[in-house]
């Protein structure tokens, strides 16, 4: 009988201990997250240089005898993952009105006094049909702005570059190019 009691006790003990035994469960999970970066440089939408115009109007003698400056806020908005340069050039050697011409070098483009958030070394550029550095070694960043002054100095507007030309609107494109370093 003692043997039977011991077997019964062991069986009951095994049942009790077996039902309370915790099964192994996962308590952690691991996921791999990848971040893939690509180099980017962009003149962003919102740049007033995209599809905009700069209009100079010479209607009086005073206009021809004084500097004219037109400031364009947010002329360029650049996003770049690396330091960069901004170059500028005209689409040709002259502003055109049919067969009538005004040389593009009557126009100077430079960073405005309140230049915006774009860093780097800024240089005033007398416009030409050749790429010229407007900004060099600008630090990387997102939506960096550059406000520009477009100036025709009186020395040009009161010279034969503009005086004596037939009345009308003379047009030329200006192209800005941002290039990563």
For residues 123 and 145, what is the distance between their CA atoms, to the nearest angstrom? 16
| pTM of the entire predicted model | 0.82
- pLDDT digit string, tens, across residues 53-65: 999 999 999 999 9
Quote the mean pLDDT of the chain.
Answer: 90
| C-alpha closest to that of 144 among 178, 173, 110 | 178
Residue 70 buriedness (CB in 10 A; 0-12 / 13-18 / 19+): middle
For residues 64 and 163, what is the distance between their CA atoms, to the nearest angstrom? 8
| C-alpha closest to that of 76 among 26, 112, 103, 107 | 112
Find the mean pLDDT for residues 89-111.
97
| C-alpha closest to that of 142 among 86, 77, 84 | 77
- pLDDT digit string, tens, across residues 29-48: 889 999 998 999 999 998 99
């Amino acid at each position: 009988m003692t043997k039977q009691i011991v077997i019964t006790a062991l069986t009951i003990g095994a049942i009790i201990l077996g039902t309370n035994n915790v099964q192994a469960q996962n308590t952690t999970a691991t996921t791999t997250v990848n971040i893939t970066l690509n180099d980017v440089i962009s003149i962003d939408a919102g740049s007033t240089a995209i599809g905009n115009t700069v209009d100079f109007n010479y209607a009086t003698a005073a206009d021809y005898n004084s500097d004219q400056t037109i400031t364009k806020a947010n002329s360029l908005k650049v996003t770049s993952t690396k330091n960069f340069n901004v170059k500028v050039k005209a689409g040709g050697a002259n502003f055109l009105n049919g067969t009538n011409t005004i040389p593009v070098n009557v126009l100077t483009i430079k960073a405005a006094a309140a230049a915006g958030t774009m860093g780097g070394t800024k240089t005033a550029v007398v416009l030409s049909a050749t790429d010229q550095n407007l900004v060099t070694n600008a630090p990387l960043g997102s939506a960096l702005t550059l406000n520009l002054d477009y100036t025709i100095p009186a020395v040009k507007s009161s010279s034969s570059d503009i005086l004596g030309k037939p009345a009308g609107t003379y047009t030329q494109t200006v192209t800005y190019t941002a290039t990563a370093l």
